[in-house]
Amino acid sequence: IEEKESAFVQGIEKIYKQLVTTLEAAGVKQIEAVGKEFDPDFHNAVMHSEDEEYGENIVSEEFQKGYMYRESVVRHSMVKVVN
């Protein structure tokens, strides 16, 4: 808990936010996955399970972020799909 408030961690978080902002300005954006319907054009399903809380073919967990550059997928989101 104390580590999250250290100057080092705060510095890394600021660098990460600046990197994300720079990438977004260049046209790179994260693919939204959790809670969305599974789409093989954007998601790579590596696990499947049953869960009554979700509907059919819904992404319940994201293991690795996916990214797009303008309209092209750079890396698919690695996800877990339910039902």
pLDDT of residue 83: 86
Phi, psi of 63 (to 5 degrees): -95, -30
Residues 46 and 65 in one domain: yes
> Both 58 and 80 in a single domain?
yes
pLDDT of residue 2: 63
- For residues 54-76, average pLDDT: 94
Same domain, 23 and 40: no
Q: Do the bridges between strand 28-30 and strand 72-75 make them parallel or antiparallel, or are there none, so unpaired?
A: unpaired
Run of H or E including 69: strand 67-69
Distances (CA, A) of 1 to 4, 15, 16, 26, 65: 6, 20, 20, 34, 25
Judge contact between 43 and 79, C-beta under 8 A: yes
Q: What share of the chain has pLDDT > 90, as a percent?
A: 84
Domain count, the chain: 2
Domain match, 68 and 37 both: yes
- In this prediction, residue 18 carries a pLDDT of 97
Enter the pTM of the model: 0.75
* Structure confidence by residue, pLDDT tens digits, 30-64: 999 999 999 999 999 999 999 888 888 999 999 99
On whether both 18 and 44 belong to a single domain, the answer is no
